[in-house]
Amino acid sequence: MKKLMLMLITSPEDGDLRFQDHLHTQNNSPSQDDIQQQLMNCIKELEKENKMLVPFFCGHVDKYLEAEFGSKEEPYADINFVLDALPSEIMRRLKEIVKLMVDGGFVEECSDIYSTWRREFAEQCLLELLQFQLPIKMDFWKWSAACKAAWKMFFPNERRLCDFLFSGLSVAADVSFDKFCKSLTTVLLEYAHTITTQSYTQYTLLVDAPRMLMSLGKLEPEFIAYNNLSFVRDVRDIQQRLAMINSFRYIIYPDIVEAPATDGGLHLITKESMNYILGICEGMIYQRDCETYCIENSSFWVVIGKMIELLESELELESTR
């Protein structure tokens, strides 16, 4: 009854006014394009800050690496360094724009723009800090330093930055942080990926694989905290491949002058190598059935193929002695 009475006493002019107010409100609401443009403008302002921030941050990272690699001084990683160094007014505006985009349902678009900005900053820092272009060339010590800088300095600082900008938006924060970490991890692991997928040599098995595996092992505590994010799977994949190669070296290069033949004339190295390969294949199948395996199928079979290729090469060399 009340609704009916209101309808009766409401004039057409009142209805027109309410409709005009509704249109006016819609017209004043920023569109997706407007919000995205505001985000891009903020990012451009912050990119200009990189010219000062990159050398400033690199100085801090350099001191950390010096302490990590040899100094008796206790290494200190300031996880608020980047956030504290960025202009507070721009960051306040950026935080407001990020919330508008996420509330509007544009999480992916927002995280793409954000993670690209942060990846470019990290790559500029690595370039200045270690004097090399990405992707990293075949230099183990630079690679090891880059990994330490990434996991112990870049990632904690980026996590802090994401938590600030995406405050109260935990899903968006995780998506943006994971994209940044995955893009940088892919670049950093390219060197290790090349080592595990190229033709194996004695140097690969006796030097490259063991020290790379050890270097990643030392960083294990750093990425345990990020186990729920996808980029950690890439690290596990590389670790598992390196571990396979590392174990294979004890078989293919035993500490004996000459490997004897077993009963039936089968060379001992051949027997042990094939037993090892069969064992890891069975393990892979079991892990796949239990859905617990880390290593990617394509990478796994490349490693197996390279092992067999190396075995054939070593046996051929052995037969000419």
**Cα–Cα distance, 175 to 83 (Å, whole number):** 19
- Residue 137: which pLDDT band, with cuts at 50, 70 and 90? low
**Cα–Cα distance, 186 to 233 (Å, whole number):** 11
pLDDT of 59 strictly over 70: yes
103 or 273, greater pLDDT: 103
pLDDT of 267 strictly over 50: yes
Q: Would you give the DSSP letter of residue 199?
A: P
Confidence at residue 173, expressed as pLDDT on a 0 to 100 scale: 86
Return the number of other C-beta atoms located less than 10 Å from residue 308's C-beta. Answer: 13
Confidence at residue 7, expressed as pLDDT on a 0 to 100 scale: 42
303 or 296, greater pLDDT: 303
Per-residue pLDDT averaged across 95-116, rounded? 83
Confidence at residue 18, expressed as pLDDT on a 0 to 100 scale: 45
- Residue 71: which pLDDT band, with cuts at 50, 70 and 90? low
- Residue 268: which pLDDT band, with cuts at 50, 70 and 90? low
- Given a contact cutoff of 8 angstroms between Cβ atoms, the answer to whether 266 and 274 are in contact is no
Name the phi and psi angles at 105, rounded to 5.
90, 15
The neighbouring-strand residues paired with 261 are: 267
pLDDT of 9 strictly over 60: no
Read off the tokens for 1.
């009854």
Residues whose CB is less than 8 angstroms from the CB of residue 69 and which lie 6 or more positions away in sequence, other chains included: 145
What are the pLDDT digits (tens) for 216-260?
888 888 777 787 788 888 888 888 889 888 888 877 776 643 444
**Cα–Cα distance, 20 to 316 (Å, whole number):** 87
pLDDT of 138 strictly over 50: yes
**pTM for the whole structure:** 0.70
**Rg of the chain over CA atoms, in angstroms?**
28
> What does the mean pLDDT of the chain come to?
74
What are the pLDDT digits (tens) for 155-206?
999 999 999 988 878 788 888 888 888 888 888 888 888 888 888 888 888 8
Return the number of other C-beta atoms located less than 10 Å from residue 293's C-beta. Answer: 18
Confidence at residue 160, expressed as pLDDT on a 0 to 100 scale: 92
